[in-house]
Structure 1
């Protein structure tokens, strides 16, 4: 038997280090009969009979079209169906134009890799998604600068420092892109979007400040008919580009960037994540149209209402829990978001305790979140009943009580 190669030894050592610092990742399956408090299926469409029926109707309508995409959009993967879908989604979401991508990661990384011009600056919320970091890493931007999460004052300080210190920015000859999300997937809090828009307009008199908004987790959840937070606030004209993904509340896969026709054409020419990948297949496109058909027919309004009822109930029930060293509610000041982070130094133990009782949650640990910010993330869905929410919160309370008793016993023994 041959000895392990240098590469094998290097990879094995890297994996062992991850195991030793409790950051090892592995694929898992949900236990049979689990109640979902983990996935991003906020409208519970993945198990919806109405969505399945809409999808089947759409497949029947296009029964004679080729199922495969055939190649990249620039070669043989384009179709009238894809272009019509882009137009219809952009119209529904009140955007000027739209361009489909295979995923939100591809859309973000492709956009930020090519749109900032040489020497431009990208300013980003410190908790922005990894896909934006990937795009910035590949971009020609001269500088990438973070600002404190959801802190409008911190954003303004960074922007004013840029204006004061860079003549080209001050004269409107160098562009500054500001990257934010509407609903952050780990902390579960909403961006102060109106304040961010006002700040950019106040600082950049030359019109060279551009806001890019990732609506991945807010699509389907906020706004009339699930159009997202930008539309809910009426800020469509204030945003340079918006990303809406289909893999969360819409139970599909893929994404669209809403932008001007000029930016769309530029992305077609320069976004490598579009140019060099096989496009979405016809069944994937049909599923997206089926989901949006439910939205623009108003068929998801009841699900959206149920979701927000469950969100309110979850936050009300969690607010009764007393924060301790073993359990701190991350976003207890925001009670209208479907994502709640329960900070704990023992996220795997809490997650396992809940999973063993068939409440599906996931531990989130470093490097996904910073050290000291480990948590169990709770996602509520329209199909979650108030009784299920009550059961989940009760089990969290039980675990906290057990941990506090165990800590008290340990302290007592240490003092003997």
Structure 2
């Protein structure tokens, strides 16, 4: 069976309302949960664990940006790293970092990662999500403030729930002037910030996971230094989508800009471009001591296992030795080809002119020295599902994103480019979306006898026929 049928069937099976069939004799605990889930089932947007697709499906979704997992290169490097350790290692860390789990190999790899990134220390933890929460839990002290870009990742939002910071303020996305306004407000309302008696933690991302745009980090650092010359305003930057992609050997945005000494905390992910697992917090010894003392997320959980650390080391050795340079270059070439072909396609031009969709990152792309591999195709709310179904039936996987993952009143198809994407696949992607554009414009202009796009009609027919 084609992948799209498997996915549609799995999705439909989970959208059926459960509360009407829930027996009153069942515990109220479960009935209340089903009631909460039915709110999402009614709109057809209950999250599901999607079946994994094989390599025959055209991939514009996965986080294997450099294709190190698909190619098997990271697996081979990992096995070689494990073999180099011999047989005298234990599978489990058997304790937290403050107890038995702080073993020599883990500390050695952390020192190597810190050196690669030009940081004083590094802390390997189980995921980047976990790392972001741990930082906000530990580093902001009572009375301090956390200000964050309004489009920050969900891990930052969760971190804000566990922090003891007294002030939590968002600022307009990628806007240094908006950051200045928020910082001015803090200084005005509480003189302790102006004196340097309280600190401000500023949370940004190098490449934003939905918008795909890059942080104007140099400008924001200048604002913070100007507003707080005592140095009590410091940055936490999430480099999830830049790690392995940009900078010297893929070291990230901070190192592209030479701001290693200006950024207090960097969080890097190993589960994306590095095709490994886990996250890394880069900081100095003072911050590391604060993490040890105040982060329950880190010190009340077991330390990473040897295989996990070995996979991370294998990935970083590939970066540091330049073994991923061809993939990094290919990824950049693929994005540039997409932009160039998009702007030359008459169907896309008409769609852009009519406001049916937009591709903000395609604007003035040639002026950027480096391209983001995350490209949102912005559409009107409701159209993201239509375009997703259209793409999936054409054997292209690119997920629809709706509120609350993106701001209310917005929606998009999130294209993620990889080194393994071919020009033929990119051409096919453009052609497939172009066909959807032609059909939608015809429907909107009243030139079609149909009011529902063909792909959605096919979806409904499959559902009525039991997905056969």
TM-score band (shorter)? over 0.9
Of 336, 340, 357 in structure 2, the residue corresponding to residue 316 of structure 1 is 340
1:408 alignment partner in structure 2: 445
2:3 alignment partner in structure 1: none
**Distance in 2 between the 1:31 and 1:55 partners?**
24
Of 272, 281, 284 in structure 2, the residue corresponding to residue 260 of structure 1 is 284
Return the offset for 1:366: 2.0
Residue pair 2:267, 2:280 contacting (<8 A) in 1 also: yes
Per-residue CA distance 1:15-57 (angstroms, 9 max, x = gap) = 1111223432111124441111101211111123432221111
Greater than 4 Å deviation, 4+ residue runs: 410-414
Residue pair 2:330, 2:419 contacting (<8 A) in 1 also: yes
Of 340, 361, 369 in structure 2, the residue corresponding to residue 331 of structure 1 is 361
> Structure 1 residues 15, 67: closer, same or farther in 2, change over 3 A?
same
Judge which range, 377-386 or 366-375, deviates more: 366-375
Q: Equivalences for 1:360-399 in 2 at 5 Å? A: 360-399=397-436
Structure 2: give runs of 5+ residues left out of the alignment.
1-22, 366-370, 452-468
Q: Equivalences for 1:350-369 in 2 at 5 Å? A: 350-369=387-406
Q: Say whether residues 1:110 and 2:134 are aligned partners.
A: yes
Residue pair 1:104, 1:216 contacting (<8 A) in 2 also: yes
> Structure 1 residues 227, 69: closer, same or farther in 2, change over 3 A?
same
1:24 alignment partner in structure 2: 46
**Distance in 1 between the 2:355 and 2:84 partners?**
57
> Structure 1 residues 146, 2: closer, same or farther in 2, change over 3 A?
closer
* TM-score, structure 2 normalization: 0.85
Return the offset for 1:318: 2.9
Judge which range, 82-91 or 60-69, deviates more: 60-69
Residue pair 2:96, 2:300 contacting (<8 A) in 1 also: yes
Residue pair 1:37, 1:361 contacting (<8 A) in 2 also: yes
Q: Which has the higher contact order (CA 8 A, sep 6+)?
A: 1
Residue pair 1:189, 1:334 contacting (<8 A) in 2 also: no
Q: Equivalences for 1:6-405 in 2 at 5 Å? A: 6-32=28-54, 33-64=56-87, 65-319=89-343, 320=345, 321-322=348-349, 323=352, 324-333=354-363, 335=365, 336-344=371-379, 345=381, 346-405=383-442
Return the offset for 1:410: 7.3
* TM-score, structure 1 normalization: 0.95
Q: How many residues align?
A: 414
**Distance in 1 between the 2:422 and 2:138 partners?**
44
Per-residue CA distance 1:242-261 (angstroms, 9 max, x = gap) = 00110110011111111111
**Distance in 2 between the 1:367 and 1:359 partners?**
24
What is the CA RMSD across the aligned residues, in angstroms? 1.8
> Residue 83 of structure 1: SS of its match in structure 2?
helix
Structure 1: give runs of 5+ residues left out of the alignment.
none
